[in-house]
Structure 1
Amino acid sequence: MKQLSRKEKILTQLVGVVFLLLVLAAIFAPPSLDWSYSFSRNDEIPFGNELVFESLPELFPGEEIITSWTSPHLFLEEKIPLNTNFIYINGRINAKPSDVDVLLDAAKAGNHIFMASEVVYGVLADTFKLEYKPELWEDLDFFSSDSVGFYFANKKLNNGFGYWYPKWMTRFYFSRYDTSRVTVLGYDDKGKTNFIKVKFGNGYFYFHSNPLAFTNYHFLSRNNYEYISKALSYLPVQATVWDEYYKPGHMHVEGLFDYVLENGSLQMAWYIILVGVLALFAFGSKRVQRPIPEIKTPENSSLTFIETIAKLYYHRQDHLDIAKKRFTYFLEFLRTKYFINTSLETSRVIGEVSQKSGVSERTVAALFQMGNRLQELRRISQEDLEQFNRQIDFFYNNCQ
């Protein structure tokens, strides 16, 4: 077999060092801020729940804090505990009938169940005649810094000025509920109910319509951590179960690999092993005979062009132009998929879009209001652009 020359050995070692440096740079590079909805106890991103989860021992001193990684049906299949709190915080909660049955049984037994969610669907909502709606203010400016205040019905819990949040983050309220069974615990500065208590058997359900108010972002904003602790103080001091099952984008089972990634030393050992295996494959598979000629696949120049244009917009920081183009492509999507003439009167277009796509007319109207508003603005921030993208993606993910 042909021996590597000294020059080839040096080149191979140099490539290995460069590859190792690149891997280390990728590992230790500061992550970009993630604005996705998480609501997980493991996430310290703005809309995660790490800080709220860590505050539970102070809210329930001396009591056991348990994390549920499975559905309520599986978690409670053996035995329903007594004197226990259950906390569910998520953007949407659509529990299966089997899960709803065990939750109702848990409440009947005297337990307390707290649910903060923009919408609760299905059997659970029907049981308590709950209906959620987004607040659509006439003067709503998607890119403004207007705020909405939260208050407790119990005046002793209020701080005098209320607890204030951005409008677009806290726009859901209860438009209907069984008034004969419900106790109103909180409302916003418009008088819309957003926090209620329902007695069921010997226990209680607590429903809050604004889960984003219970995230890291608001825990560190102004004095809103007080609102979180006061809302959760309605739960008695007893053992508490924290839900990790109804979380977007997270696995529902905690395994060995999750433990490895949460532990700093084990995480570093895992990366070192991974780099070693990759290096072994990279250098151990080197051919010593004449290499086989490589036939390159045709290059997709259109992707290169798109990448170049994207970098140009990124360096220019022209968020408004990107938002306008997103809205233009959205209109083209409506014309292509649903054959809608978007040049007609806006109210007529909104009605046709809602009817053909299956998305609520309120949601479509809000999206058109945001898109038309772009023509009046000179610039927007990156956060505004990201929120606008989320609104359009919500339509794409829910249209028929």
Structure 2
Amino acid sequence: MLSKKSKIFIIIIIAIIGLLTFLEASEPEPINWFPSYAKTDKIPLGTFVSYSIMKETFGDPKLKDINQPPYEFLLDNDTVSGTYFFVNGSISFDDSELDRILDWVGKGNTLFVSSKTISSNLLDTLLIDTDNLISLDDISTQPMVELVNKNLKAEKPYHYDRDVYNPYFSEIDTINTTVLGVTQLYNDTLQIKNPQLNYIKQSFGEGEILLHSFPEAFGNYFMLTDENYEYTQNILSYVDPTKKILWDNHYKSGKTFYTSPLFFLLQNRYLKWAYYTLIIGVLLFVIFEGKRKQRSIPIIAPLKNQTLAFTRTISAMYYEKEKHKEIVEKQNLLFLDYVHHDLRIQTNVLDEKTLLDISARSNNDIEDTKILFKYFEELNRKRVLSKEELIRLYNMISEFKNKSY
């Protein structure tokens, strides 16, 4: 039975857990601003809305999810054509992967990258440099964005009311690059007076490359604020709707595939606290109930292996009765079993190659190996064997095995 103090202690622990659970459940759910950019995430910087709109606009056959690294996908699907679509906070290709992507683009395809940090080797290849917008007069770093095409340009630039890092393309190859969109930090007039490039297009071989430095445009928060979705739709107007769009799921900060079953349990605050309460309850049960019911576990000696003693008894009986021929036959079978299981060599055919393998794996000379097997054959042909021949065979086998260790 539990003591009175133990019962009071358990009641206090349960009351504290209940209070913590109530306080946690009563608090409003904090907004998760993690830059996931995963198509399944409905958080502000997930791409659930933009992906769904693209799926409705282009249709299921045209929008294809790519879960492999680009290098592996293009290696196995070099004949596929369309637009390889990357959206994330950071996109970084290694040199071999970039070479394969650019080779694919040069065949008449499109590479679309919307990211704050774009792979430096890609920028170097296209003779592009980047910089960051900094406000000297105001600590606010909220960006405004718009497209330069008159048919796609809105009356006022689109405003993103969050202080974020704002990269732009500070240097470009003016001969081969087309400017598609610009950006500027927010001001009271909501006008872009000092535009900086944030959306450009450059031809590459028979294809083209689209670079965009404001991936928040594809986030749920931007898409669902005012009329901002129009800006995202107009960005996509430069993507060929008649070809496939290869949506990249590999370069995503948000984890698209969750392998842990606890992830779904811990995502829900109520299930999470129920899980914690269960764990704490089990620990309390083990602590208080285990002391009362624990019993010492008797030590049971394992059964002795009598195989060796039995083998020695049988071999002694054969030796005393001078059944040397039978002993040699057993020794032959045991040695072949040793070669098969310990040296892992088949003994069905003892040809020159097999003997060479036995010699190599046992660290014995090929001549000594041949002598041993020849002696086995010689003894097997005899009907009667002497004690000296048996002892010699034993010594040859022992010497052969000693070199194997």
TM-score by structure 2 length?
A: 0.58
Residue 142 (structure 1) aligns with:
139
Residue 38 (structure 2) aligns with:
40
Residue 218 (structure 2) aligns with:
214
Q: Distance in 2 between matches of 1:219 and 1:235?
A: 18
Residue 268 of structure 1: CA displacement? 7.7
Alignment equivalent of 1:241, drawn from 231, 239, 246: 246
**Unmatched tracts of structure 2, length 5 or more:** 184-191, 293-405
Residue 282 (structure 1) aligns with:
284
Please tell me whether the aligned partners of residues 266 and 272 of structure 2 are also in contact (alpha carbons under 8 angstroms).
no
Residue 135 of structure 1: CA displacement? 2.8
Please tell me whether the aligned partners of residues 153 and 186 of structure 1 are also in contact (alpha carbons under 8 angstroms).
yes
Q: Distance in 1 between matches of 2:210 and 2:83?
A: 11
Aligned-partner residue type, residue 129 of structure 1? L
Larger Cα Rg: Structure 1 or Structure 2? 2
Residue 225 of structure 1: CA displacement? 1.0
Please tell me whether the aligned partners of residues 129 and 178 of structure 1 are also in contact (alpha carbons under 8 angstroms).
yes
Cα distance 1:151–1:275, how it changes in 2: closer, same or farther (>3 A)? same
Query: Does residue 162 of the first structure (1) align with residue 162 of the second (2)?
Result: no
| Superposed counterparts of 1:15-94, under 5 Å | 15-16=13-14, 19=17, 22-23=20-21, 26=24, 29-80=27-78, 82-94=80-92
Cα distance 1:239–1:272, how it changes in 2: closer, same or farther (>3 A)? farther
**Unmatched tracts of structure 1, length 5 or more:** 290-400
Q: Distance in 2 between matches of 1:271 and 1:285?
A: 21
Residue 57 of structure 1: CA displacement? 1.1
Alignment equivalent of 1:231, drawn from 232, 235, 240: 235
Residue 55 of structure 1: CA displacement? 2.1
Residue 206 of structure 1: CA displacement? 0.7
Q: Distance in 1 between matches of 2:22 and 2:78?
A: 48
Q: Distance in 2 between matches of 1:100 and 1:178?
A: 19
Q: Distance in 1 between matches of 2:82 and 2:276?
A: 43
Q: Distance in 2 between matches of 1:234 and 1:52?
A: 16
Residue 401 (structure 2) aligns with:
none
Residue 151 (structure 1) aligns with:
146
Q: Distance in 2 between matches of 1:175 and 1:79?
A: 35
Q: Distance in 2 between matches of 1:59 and 1:115?
A: 20
Please tell me whether the aligned partners of residues 57 and 63 of structure 1 are also in contact (alpha carbons under 8 angstroms).
no
Alignment equivalent of 2:197, drawn from 157, 179, 193: 193
Please tell me whether the aligned partners of residues 69 and 254 of structure 1 are also in contact (alpha carbons under 8 angstroms).
no
SS of equivalent to 1:256: coil
Q: Distance in 2 between matches of 1:113 and 1:12?
A: 62
Cα distance 1:275–1:160, how it changes in 2: closer, same or farther (>3 A)? same
| Superposed counterparts of 1:280-319, under 5 Å | 280-286=282-288, 287-288=290-291
Residue 83 of structure 1: CA displacement? 3.0
Q: Distance in 2 between matches of 1:262 and 1:207?
A: 39
SS of equivalent to 1:105: helix
With 192-201 and 60-69 compared, the bigger mean Cα shift is at: 60-69
Q: Distance in 1 between matches of 2:262 and 2:245?
A: 22
Q: Distance in 1 between matches of 2:92 and 2:60?
A: 32
Cα distance 1:24–1:109, how it changes in 2: closer, same or farther (>3 A)? farther
Residue 280 of structure 1: CA displacement? 2.1
Residue 100 (structure 1) aligns with:
98
Aligned length: 283
SS of equivalent to 2:54: helix
- Residue by residue over 1:267-312, the C-alpha shift from the partner in whole angstroms, topping out at 9 and shown as x without a partner, is 98787666544432331232536xxxxxxxxxxxxxxxxxxxxxxx
- Residue by residue over 1:205-263, the C-alpha shift from the partner in whole angstroms, topping out at 9 and shown as x without a partner, is 11012223332232122211100111022212243333343334x44x72433796299
With 271-280 and 83-92 compared, the bigger mean Cα shift is at: 271-280
Residue 9 of structure 1: CA displacement? 5.3
Cα distance 1:84–1:270, how it changes in 2: closer, same or farther (>3 A)? farther
Residue 319 (structure 2) aligns with:
none
Residue 129 of structure 1: CA displacement? 0.9
- Residue by residue over 1:42-82, the C-alpha shift from the partner in whole angstroms, topping out at 9 and shown as x without a partner, is 43333333322232212322435444444322333322352
Residue 123 of structure 1: CA displacement? 1.6
Aligned-partner residue type, residue 247 of structure 2? W
Cα distance 1:136–1:256, how it changes in 2: closer, same or farther (>3 A)? closer
Cα distance 1:69–1:281, how it changes in 2: closer, same or farther (>3 A)? farther
Please tell me whether the aligned partners of residues 39 and 48 of structure 2 are also in contact (alpha carbons under 8 angstroms).
yes
With 102-111 and 27-36 compared, the bigger mean Cα shift is at: 27-36
Residue 171 (structure 2) aligns with:
176
Cα distance 1:177–1:43, how it changes in 2: closer, same or farther (>3 A)? same
TM-score by structure 1 length?
A: 0.59
Q: Distance in 1 between matches of 2:51 and 2:27?
A: 27
Residue 27 of structure 1: CA displacement? 6.5
> Sequence identity, in percent?
26
